[in-house]
């Protein structure tokens, strides 16, 4: 009996030992001229890769600013490690803490993150190179391959993703795997890929969050100059982002929203040379996983050489999608529909949306519809939608009265003020200026991405 109980306690003790986390996290320090073991700033180590290799769960590797670090191999975070810059007062300092992957002289990306809790924060990452080799399990990912974890407060620029298989995208960041996490407060700029996301490619896993980011000046040959998402990423939300001045030769210059969601974002100045979608291409093949564009401004995008059968300077909508409280204006498609393009589509639902002032060719330069059924509820669009492919309710065909051709807020005499239909998601929601979508006085949402709040408006204080 005594031996049995002793064995039981031994097994319990062993289990506790295995289950108990490390007693305390370890901080490690990296400086370019460091000669020590990395235990403090005065004992800093010079090799970032070596310090990460020594780190375990909950450890932090601090990297001093005002320095440039050169990589000969990628850095892999397979534990819940934080790797971050250290600026004055301990703040992130991405501008002055640069990690150069040395492409094209070397062919490696900067980071691969594989574990939930892994984090990269506060760097400029430049000259990365990722190339898939024909193996479907080998990702391109020019700068960061994110399987699980967080990337925040980074500038990711001038990196490249090449290859020939379905993993060949993500010039800046490739999100893929069974984990979750996201990209926050980052600038992803001047990256390129052969196809599938010049800036960011969201392939699988999640739910992922891409928030408060600027995705600009990225380029691609096919599908999503700025961002490309896929049907395997249900629950992925892109929010409060600027997707601007990206380019694709074929299929959407700005963002390809496939079975995911984009909220409260500016999608502006993007270009697609061929085929539909200068700014946005939105699609799902599943009515239970609708793609969503909500509270966004889609403006000044161009589908430059697309024929009328594949146009859409602003938005190309292709199936099971919802577009809510968006402003689609001043987009262009010289050979087709400047604002909105719908072809071979099923069940596109528009609510409280303004489609106005877009330029193209032909009678319907503002939009082109050749498939349905689709619904337009409380929208401002001209000319009126023909009944062949759509059902419309409470359509406004009068000028929405924008402040100017460059300012898409509403003037006092706009017919779009108080003309929307309230929805559940508006409770506590804000427009692109941070104003309440439903205020305590008028209690009815406006059309488009901006609420009108005139001077001298009273606020109710509870």
Specify which of 113-122, 132-141, 334-343 reaches the highest per-range mean pLDDT.
Answer: 113-122
Q: What is the mean pLDDT of residues 188-194?
A: 95
H or E segment and range at residue 53: helix 48-54
Copy the structure tokens of residue 280.
Answer: 């946005």
CA dist 281 → 85, 224, 273, 357 (Å): 36, 8, 14, 19
Angle (nearest 5°) at CA 111 between 137 and 260? 60
pTM given for the model: 0.91
Which is higher by pLDDT, 188 or 387?
Answer: 188
Domains of the chain by start residue, with CATH: 65-393 (2.160.20)
The predicted structure's pLDDT at residue 134: 56
For 24, phi then psi, to 5°, come to -155, 155
Q: What is the mean pLDDT of residues 219-244?
A: 90
Judge whether residue 8 has pLDDT over 70: no
Copy the structure tokens of residue 433.
Answer: 């200026």
Judge whether residue 455 has pLDDT over 50: yes
Per-residue DSSP letters for 321-348? EEEES-EEES-B-TTS-SSEEE-S---E
Q: What is the mean pLDDT of residues 125-149?
A: 82
Average pLDDT, the chain: 88
User: Can you name the residues that pair with 156 across neighbouring β-strands?
Assistant: 125, 188
Reduce the DSSP state of residue 11 to 3 states and report it. Answer: helix
220 and 248 in contact (C-beta within 8 Å)? yes
**Which single residue is written with the structure tokens 């065909």?**
397
The predicted structure's pLDDT at residue 131: 79
Copy the structure tokens of residue 137.
Answer: 């399990």
């Amino acid at each position: 009996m005594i031996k049995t109980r002793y064995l039981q306690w031994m097994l319990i003790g062993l289990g506790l030992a295995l289950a108990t986390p490390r007693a305390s996290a370890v901080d490690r320090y990296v400086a370019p001229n460091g000669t020590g073991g990395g235990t403090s700033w005065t004992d800093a180590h010079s090799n970032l890769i070596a310090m990460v290799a020594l780190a375990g769960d909950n450890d932090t590797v601090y990297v001093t600013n005002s320095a440039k670090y050169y990589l000969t191999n990628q850095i892999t975070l397979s534990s819940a490690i934080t790797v971050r810059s250290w600026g004055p007062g301990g703040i992130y300092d991405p501008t002055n803490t640069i990690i150069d992957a040395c492409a094209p002289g070397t062919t490696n990306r900067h980071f691969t993150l594989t574990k939930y809790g892994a984090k990269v924060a506060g760097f400029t990452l430049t000259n990365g190179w990722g190339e898939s080799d024909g193996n479907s399990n080998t990702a391109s990912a020019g700068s960061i391959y994110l399987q699980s974890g967080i990337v925040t407060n980074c500038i990711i620029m001038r990196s490249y993703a090449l290859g020939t298989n379905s993993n060949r995208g993500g010039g800046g960041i490739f999100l893929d795997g069974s984990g979750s996490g996201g990209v926050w407060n980052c600038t992803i700029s001047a990256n390129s890929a052969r196809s599938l996301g010049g800036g960011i490619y969201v392939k699988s896993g999640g739910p992922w969050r891409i928030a408060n980011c600027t995705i600009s000046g990225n380029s691609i040959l096919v599908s999503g100059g700025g961002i490309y998402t896929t049907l395997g990423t249900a629950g992925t939300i892109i929010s409060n982002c600027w997707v601007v001045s990206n380019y694709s030769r074929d299929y959407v210059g700005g963002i390809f929203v496939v079975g995911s969601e984009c909220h409260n974002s500016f999608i502006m100045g993007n270009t697609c040379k061929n085929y539909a979608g200068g700014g946005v291409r939105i699609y799902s093949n599943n009515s239970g996983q609708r793609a969503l564009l909500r509270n966004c401004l889609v403006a000044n995008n161009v589908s430059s050489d697309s024929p009328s059968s594949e146009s859409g300077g602003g938005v190309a909508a292709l199936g099971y999608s919802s577009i809510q409280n968006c402003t689609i204006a001043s987009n262009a498609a010289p050979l087709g529909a400047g604002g909105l393009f719908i072809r071979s589509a099923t069940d596109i639902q528009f609510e409280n949306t303004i489609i106005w002032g877009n330029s193209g060719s032909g009678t319907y330069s503002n939009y082109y519809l050749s498939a349905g059924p689709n619904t337009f509820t409380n929208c401002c669009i001209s000319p009126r939608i023909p009944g062949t492919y759509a059902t419309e309710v409470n359509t406004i065909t009068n000028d929405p009265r924008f402040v100017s051709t460059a300012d898409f807020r509403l003037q006092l005499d706009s017919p779009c003020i108080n003309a929307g239909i309230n929805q559940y998601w508006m409770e506590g929601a804000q427009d692109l200026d941070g104003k309440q979508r439903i205020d305590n006085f008028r209690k009815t949402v406006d059309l488009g991405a901006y609420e009108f709040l005139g001077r001298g408006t009273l606020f109710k204080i509870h």
